[in-house]
Amino acid sequence: MKTFYVRAVGALLAFGAACAFAQTPQPPEIAARQYILIDLTSHQVLAERDADAQADPASLTKLMTAYLVFNAIRDGKLSLEQTLPVSKRAWDERKGGASVMFIDPTMTPKVSELLRGVIVQSGNDASVALAEGVSGTVENFVAAMNRQAQAWGLKNTQFKNATGMTESGHHSSARDVATVAAKIIEEHPESYKLYSIRQYTYNHIKQDNRNLLLGRDPSVDGMKTGYTDTAGYCLVASSVRDMPNGKRRLLSVVMGTASREARASESQKLLNWGWQAWDAVRLVEPGKAVATVPVWKGATREVALGAGTAGGAVFVTVPKGEGERLQTRIERTDPLVAPLVQGQRAGTIKVATAGGTVVASVPLVVQQAVPLAGFFGRTWDAVRLWIK
């Protein structure tokens, strides 16, 4: 493995890892039991407290409920214009003061209407109707929720229902909730737009979205509130801004705050700090080669290598003023011998501080396939490699 150093204006960050800078910005005091702030552009955690502690997620549960419904629509199992029956079980969700959409068994709401009932109105009745529409029974749907959580490696999450009502064994964590929210944003961008709706009227009953930041911060375009006596007041908030190097999105989760106002103000405080104390820097342009290197025994003599990230772009979030002080280092396989397939790992891009501390690591991959050369080309390169 050979190493090549390159000066850069930015840096990369290994996904999900915290930055290791000498003077990392300290977050403000957040009045919440658990919280986490993530820059989704770089997939970097900027701040957290007890983010892996198991807690009652309340209606933040409905993020996973909605995610599975979005998947069902994508896969053709449901359509937005399809109507669904309202079972007695869904109707019974109106009892006990729970949030509801006010549907009843005489109605056949559309999937699009029920989604708004879940997302804007936080309706437990709508959640049950959709769960039954996707999986036949709530129990089957909850099993699918847990399978998805396991597939993502959410070690602190277990679902017992699709609504978020307090139940023994029903728990999640701030980090796990953030993962579900990020999956919706990244995999279902069109459906995510529903989370910015500030009011929804169904059956002549108008209800406001309980996410107060939608009306206070124009950069906030989602995402979900939750409350039970056990959970306290919870909020997932997502904020996006146009920056010189593209869009940047922050995602915050606060759990266990004292009031509806507190969950909004503490989330706002966390987001503001993320924007003010950190910069997102793009090191690699989308689809651009990081290096062009020789290939041995290949039909072509060279191949372009790029970052093994979605779209080939690479961002890092750094404390303000730190970007120009970092170095990138390319560690790549040498010799690189054909055949090569697109996306094949060919090394690593690393970023280090001026003092040499590695703070980031991203796969370096082959951008185009390279088939084997003919007999004489392979033979000649074999001789050259032997001499080398």
Residue positions annotated with a catalytic role: 59, 62, 122
Beta-carbon contacts of 61 under 8 Å, excluding residues fewer than 6 positions away, are 159, 161, 162, 163, 164, 170, 172, 226
Rg of the chain over all Cα atoms, to the nearest angstrom: 24
Reading the block at residue 344, the tokens are 């094949």
Bridge partners of 7, per DSSP, are 327
Bridge partners of 232, per DSSP, are 228
How far is it, in rounded angstroms, from Cα 33 to Cα 12? 31
DSSP run (H or E) holding 388: none
For 63, phi and psi rounded to 5 degrees?
Answer: -65, -45
* Cα end-to-end distance, the chain, whole Å: 15
Reading the block at residue 217, the tokens are 């911060």
Q: Which residue in the block uniquely carries the two structure tokens 């053709």? A: 76
Taking Cα atoms as reference points, which of 228, 230, 235 lies closest to residue 98?
A: 228
